[in-house]
Structure 1
Amino acid sequence: MLQTFRSSVNDVQDKITNIGNDLVRANELIVDAIIACDVEKFNDARGYIKNISSKTSDIDNLIIKILALYTPEARDLRQVVAYFKITNELARACANTRSFIRGFTDICTDLEEQTINDYAIPMQNSTIRAIKIAVSMINCHDSDELRERYDEVLIEENKTDDLYSMIEKNLIQQADTKNGEFEKYHRMLRALRKSEKIAGRAISMANLLLYANIGGELQASN
């Protein structure tokens, strides 16, 4: 029975990892799309995060079966509960990515090249690193290594916060000097805000994976 339980949990891990890797790939393609304002590449990125609700529901149903059949306890229970919550974080990260693609497609021609190079691309690169590291934690079981990776995700998430604050200040200043264009700059900020939110989902995943393996208290995600 223990072997069957472990096999089921491994299946959950593999499915979560696959969605996480697709999310990473989508956001990597977004960087190329931003540089060239390439609608086709934006669409390619969107293709990696299709049918996420169906995929996460499949994982959730598998987790419910695990809980019903094996009634895990202690660390095993923490792990399964964490995975149940991680599917929600992945779904939200994918939704934020889709929103970012939709919003940035509309405004990329309006953003100055310097703004893209100084803020948008570095922010997106930090988002990618945050997701990658969080996904790598799924198959990491060494406590010290997990804490180190969690700290790395936190660093990247903080970078996205800082970069967004800087680009927000920059764009608001531009809006103040150009009458009648406030709506355009508001749309820019709304799109860029989604990249920051994706990194926020990554730190929530990292927190859940830390909890799954080490314990402690769950932090509520925003």
Structure 2
Amino acid sequence: MGSKYHEKIGVIKDKLSLLLKEIITADELSLEAFKLYDAKRFKEVENILSKISFSGDEIDNEIIKTFALFGPEAKELRFLIAFLKMTNELVSIGAGVKKYARRMSEHAKSGCDLEPFKPSIMLLHKSSINALKYILECFTNIQECNYEDNYRKVLVEESMNDDLFSVLEKEILNKIIDEKELSIEYVKVLGSLRKLERSCDRSVNIANLMMYAKLGGEIKLFNQIIKI
């Protein structure tokens, strides 16, 4: 492959890294907003992620142009396919963070008492951010990254995230029984928290795609053969 091709790959990687950094920044700001019940910061999260679909389309177009112009070989083709699928996962994560910020701002103004759940919600949120940070750490040092180790780290966060969500789900369902008049609001809170759970799931998918890009094989096999 010529230098022009590698230059294009570098551009795509940089754009993906920038998108991921914006999502992490917005996600951390959203966590801070929840901690303080700060409507202004929740709104800032939405502003940061307002053009996330446009950014995803821009990256996909760059990948498609690289396909068309350079006809990459097998290894390079794996990376481009992985990048294309990663973009979709990142845009979905960003869209989820934006919805979470908007909804949590609304929940904070409702009659729901979120204080009893606050420690667990913050841990849930931190685990989803940690998973994204592991992805970024590996992605920005793509040549030296230990892909299997990175995948395991993301899986640990995802497993913790699942456990935390299960606990929160039970606690909030009990709250619904005690406060029937707010049952619909608490169900909405659960829906909002699921955005954090799905973020971790999608981070696992991205780590999985990175494994595929580097090692080849079947995309869906890694989550079956890599053990924590």
TM-score (norm 1): 0.93
- 1:140 corresponds in structure 2 to 142
The alpha-carbon deviation at position 142 of structure 1 amounts to 4.0
- 2:19 corresponds in structure 1 to 19
Residue segments in structure 1 that go unaligned for 5+ positions in a row = none
One-letter identity of the residue aligned with 1:18: L
- SS of the equivalent of 2:8 reads helix
Contact 1:137 1:206 in 2 (8 A): no
Contact 2:33 2:39 in 1 (8 A): yes
- 1:111 corresponds in structure 2 to 113
Task: Note the aligned Cα RMSD (angstroms).
Answer: 1.5
Contact 2:135 2:206 in 1 (8 A): yes
**Are 1:208 and 2:209 matched, yes or no?**
yes
Aligned CA distance change for structure 1 residues 56 and 112 (closer, same or farther; 3 Å) = closer
Paired with 2:152 and 2:137, the residues of 1 have a C-alpha distance of 13
The alpha-carbon deviation at position 178 of structure 1 amounts to 2.2
Paired with 1:86 and 1:4, the residues of 2 have a C-alpha distance of 22
Paired with 2:217 and 2:72, the residues of 1 have a C-alpha distance of 18
Aligned CA distance change for structure 1 residues 111 and 160 (closer, same or farther; 3 Å) = farther
Contact 1:103 1:190 in 2 (8 A): no
- SS of the equivalent of 1:12 reads helix
- 1:189 corresponds in structure 2 to 190
Residues 145-178 of structure 1, C-alpha deviations (whole Å, 9 max, x = no match): 1110111011111111111110000010111122
The alpha-carbon deviation at position 14 of structure 1 amounts to 0.0
Residue segments in structure 2 that go unaligned for 5+ positions in a row = 222-228
188-197 or 211-220, which deviates more? 211-220
- SS of the equivalent of 1:216 reads coil
Runs of 4 or more above 6 Å deviation = none
Residues 156-207 of structure 1, C-alpha deviations (whole Å, 9 max, x = no match): 1111111111000001011112233211210110111111111111111111
Paired with 2:5 and 2:204, the residues of 1 have a C-alpha distance of 28
Q: How many residues align?
A: 218
- SS of the equivalent of 1:181 reads helix
Contact 2:23 2:49 in 1 (8 A): yes
130-139 or 64-73, which deviates more? 130-139
Aligned CA distance change for structure 1 residues 187 and 163 (closer, same or farther; 3 Å) = same
**Are 1:61 and 2:96 matched, yes or no?**
no
- 2:4 corresponds in structure 1 to 4
Contact 1:134 1:203 in 2 (8 A): no
Contact 1:27 1:97 in 2 (8 A): yes
One-letter identity of the residue aligned with 1:27: D
Paired with 1:184 and 1:58, the residues of 2 have a C-alpha distance of 37
Paired with 1:51 and 1:112, the residues of 2 have a C-alpha distance of 30
106-115 or 94-103, which deviates more? 106-115
Paired with 1:136 and 1:2, the residues of 2 have a C-alpha distance of 27
- 1:165 corresponds in structure 2 to 166
